[in-house]
Structure 1
Amino acid sequence: MDEKREFQGATVAASGRSTSAGSRIDGLGAYRPVTVVGNEESATTAGVSADWISKRMGVEERRRATVTETVVTMAVAAGKEALADCGATADDVDVVLLATCSMPSPMPNGAASVAAAIGCTASAGFDLNAACSGFCHGLAVADALVRAGTARSVLVIGSERMTDWVAPEDRNTGPIFADGAAAAFVVPSSVPTIFPVAWGSDGAQSDLIKIPGETGRMEMAGPKVFRWTTSELAAVMQVACERAGLDPADLRAFVPHQANLRIIDALRQSMDTSDLVTATDVIKAGNTSAASVPLALHALRRRGDVSPGDPVLLLGFGAGLSYAAQVVLCP
C-alpha cells in the first residue's frame, strides 16, 4: 500500500498502520437510470390514480433500471464518479463497501464485482445489508475502519434495483420504490468530519417490511411503519446532533431516507428549526432504499443547496427495523 497517495490527516502508528483523528467524505458520485416512469403509468399498473400517488407518497416520477443497469453496473458508475470528484483513482481504494438489499442472488457478493470493474485490484470488498439504512451504516463502518487504521480509504456505495422485488400492481410498494446508486469516498482527516453514529434496530417489528421467500415480493405495513418512524426517530436524530456537539439549529441541511414525502415532512417538523434545507429527492427519484440518502445528498450539492463544510444530518431507516443517523460535513 506504500505506493498509494498519502491522504491528509493520516499518521503512522507504531504498528505500522495508518491511523487518523477522523475521516471525511472526499468525493461523491451518483447514477440514475435512464428510464423515467411517471405517475400515470405507475398508477395504471397499481390500480390507483396519479393524484393518489402524488398526495399519498409525494412522488411524481421514479427511475427504473433496464436489463443492463444492474446493482453492480450502477454501483460501478457511481463509484467511478465519486473517485473522479476528488481526483482519486482505483489504486487509492482500500475497501469497497456495497450497501444493498437487492442483489439478485446471495453469491457472489456485489462489492467484489464492483471492485474488479472499477479496477481496485488490491481492495477488500464486502456487502452490507441494512436495507434503507444501509448507506448510513456503511458510512459509520467506513469512518471506523479509517480512524482505526484498518483501511486508508473506503468507497461506500448504495446501489439498489428495488423494482425487482416489488409487485408493480401492489399500490403500497409498486408506485414508490425505484432504482439507482450513489457513492462516497471516505479518507482520513486531521479532524473528524463524519461524526459518531446513532444507530440501532427494533427486530421485534421486523415483519413490518419483508420479502417472503415463497413470493419473492416485498410486503410493507405502511401505516405501522409511518407511526414507528415518526414516533421513534426524532430522538435518534437528536442523539446524532449531540454526538457531533451541535444543536439542530446549527445544521445546514437534513438528508433523511427518501421513504415518502409525508414521512420526510413529519421528520423535518420534529427538528423545530426554520432554516433547514431538507432533501426531497423522493419527488423525482422515488424510494431507492440504500441509495436514497447519498443520491439526495449528491443532488443537494449539485444544485448548490449545500456547500463544502456545511453540517448535514443524514438519517437512514427501514427494514429490520434498522436505523442510523450521523452528522457529516459536506465535501
Structure 2
Amino acid sequence: MTSSGTRISGLGVYHPGNLVKNDELAVLAGLDPDWIRNGTGIESRYHAGPADDIVAMAIAAGGQALAAAKVAPDEVDLVILTTSSRRQLMPAAAPQIATGLGIPAAGAFDLGAVCAGFTYALSMASNAVAVGQARNVLITSSERLSDLIGPEIREPFVIFGDGAGAAVVSASDEWGIGPVSWGSDGSRAAAIVTEAQDGNIDRITMQGQAVYRWATGKMPAAAKRACELAGVGLDEIAWFVPHQANLRIVDALARQLGFAEDRVARDVIDTGNTSSATIPLALHRLYENPAVQSGDLALLIGYGAGLSHAAQVVRL
C-alpha cells in the first residue's frame, strides 16, 4: 500500500436556469425585500426546474470537473455524492451518476453529512487516493432544496437554493489537501430538521439563532485546528472558504479569524445556501478570481445540520 500527496485537480459547477431574486420571494412570503437582504445578505438564488434532478445536476457538474482535471472517465475509481435533499432514499444515486458519466465499475456511494458533506467527502477522497485505493475520486455535491421549502416557513424559504458542484481528487507530488478537523454534536440535532407539515409535505425548519450561536461559537476553534493539523499558521492562509450558510455567519467567522473581506468567499450573496454544494460552488468562483495565485492556501470549513462540521486546508 502506497501513500502520496493529494490535490483537487478539477472543479465543476451547475446552476439551474431559474434565477430567483428577493423581490419575487418577498411577494410570495409577504415580506419586504430589504428584510431578506438585511437579514441574510442574500440577493438571489437558483431554483431547479423539472429536469434538474439531483442526478442530472451532479452529472453536469461532474463532467465539467473531469474535463477541467483532464481525467478520463475510466481513470476514476470512486464516485461520492453528497446531498441532503434527495427525497428517494433507495437506491443510492452515486452509481447512477457514475454510469451517466461513462465511469465503468467504479465504487460509488452517497454521503449524508448535510452542509458539511463536501468537506467530509474531500477527506475520504483524499485518504483513498493517498493510500492507493483510488487513482482519482470524483466528488459531486448536488442539492435541490427548493423541494423542501415554502413561503409558510419564511427563514428557510428565503435562504436556500439549488445547484451542484463537483471536484476531482488526484495524486500529487506535494500535499494539496490537509488533514481533516471534524466533529459533531447530536444533542443539537433539532436545530435544523426536515418535518412533515400539513398535507404531509416535508419542509426544512430551523432554529436560526441557535445555529448562529453554535457556528460562531465553535467553528473558529475547528478552523484553527485544521491549520494546526496542516502545519500552517492562520497568517499563511490566503483565502477563507466557509460553508455559505448566510452572510451574517460568513462575515462573523471571518472577523473572528482575522480575514479581510476581500479574502473571504461570499458566494452566498448570489447563490443562497445550497447545503453541501456551497463550498465547491464557492471554490469554483474563487478560482476565477485573478488575485488567486497558484500555491495559495485556502481554509475550508463545512458545518450544519446534525450538527456536524469538518475543516481542512487546501492548496489552490
TM-score range, shorter chain: over 0.9
Determine the structure 2 residue equivalent to 1:51: 34
The TM-score, its normalising length taken from structure 1, stands at 0.92
Determine the structure 2 residue equivalent to 1:262: 248
One-letter code aligned to 2:150: A
Determine the structure 1 residue equivalent to 2:126: 143
Change in CA separation of 1:90 and 1:168 when aligned onto 2, cut-off 3 Å? farther
Separation (CA, whole Å) in 1 of partners of 2:300 and 2:292: 13
Separation (CA, whole Å) in 1 of partners of 2:314 and 2:306: 24
Separation (CA, whole Å) in 2 of partners of 1:41 and 1:169: 15
Separation (CA, whole Å) in 1 of partners of 2:298 and 2:221: 17
Q: What are the superposed Cα offsets for residues 104-159 of structure 1, whole Å, 9 maximum, x if unpaired? A: 21112111110010000121110000000100000001011111222121101111
DSSP 3-state at the match of 1:107: coil
Alignment partner of 1:220 is 2:206: yes
The equivalent position to 1:292 in structure 2, one of 275, 278, 291, is 278
Please, which runs of 5 or more residues in structure 1 have no aligned partner?
A: 1-12, 14-18
Q: Is the 8 A contact 1:201 1:323 kept in 2?
A: yes
One-letter code aligned to 1:40: D
Separation (CA, whole Å) in 1 of partners of 2:213 and 2:177: 29
Q: What are the superposed Cα offsets for residues 274-295 of structure 1, whole Å, 9 maximum, x if unpaired? A: 4861000000000000000000
One-letter code aligned to 1:301: Y
Determine the structure 1 residue equivalent to 2:312: 326
Determine the structure 2 residue equivalent to 1:204: 187
Determine the structure 2 residue equivalent to 1:184: 167
Change in CA separation of 1:193 and 1:291 when aligned onto 2, cut-off 3 Å? same
Determine the structure 2 residue equivalent to 1:106: 89
Q: Is the 8 A contact 2:135 2:170 kept in 1?
A: yes
Separation (CA, whole Å) in 2 of partners of 1:115 and 1:123: 7
CA drift of 1:302 comes to 1.7
Determine the structure 2 residue equivalent to 1:247: 233
Counterparts of residues 30-109 of structure 1 (less than 5 Å): 30-109=13-92
DSSP 3-state at the match of 1:122: coil
Separation (CA, whole Å) in 2 of partners of 1:183 and 1:304: 21
DSSP 3-state at the match of 1:217: strand
Q: What are the superposed Cα offsets for residues 266-316 of structure 1, whole Å, 9 maximum, x if unpaired? A: 000011244861000000000000000000010111233423221000010
Q: Which moved more, 1:137-146 or 1:42-51?
A: 42-51
Separation (CA, whole Å) in 2 of partners of 1:234 and 1:187: 29
Q: What are the superposed Cα offsets for residues 65-122 of structure 1, whole Å, 9 maximum, x if unpaired? A: 1010111111001100011002111111100100111112111211111001000012
Separation (CA, whole Å) in 2 of partners of 1:32 and 1:223: 29
CA drift of 1:212 comes to 2.2
Determine the structure 2 residue equivalent to 1:8: none
Q: Is the 8 A contact 1:252 1:275 kept in 2?
A: no
User: Size of the alignment, in residue pairs?
Assistant: 313
One-letter code aligned to 1:327: V
Separation (CA, whole Å) in 2 of partners of 1:31 and 1:274: 28
The TM-score, its normalising length taken from structure 2, stands at 0.96
Determine the structure 2 residue equivalent to 1:303: 289
CA drift of 1:166 comes to 1.5
CA drift of 1:215 comes to 4.4
Separation (CA, whole Å) in 1 of partners of 2:284 and 2:75: 21
Change in CA separation of 1:288 and 1:305 when aligned onto 2, cut-off 3 Å? farther
Counterparts of residues 157-176 of structure 1 (less than 5 Å): 157-176=140-159
Task: Give RMSD over aligned pairs.
Answer: 1.2
Determine the structure 2 residue equivalent to 1:282: 268
DSSP 3-state at the match of 1:303: coil
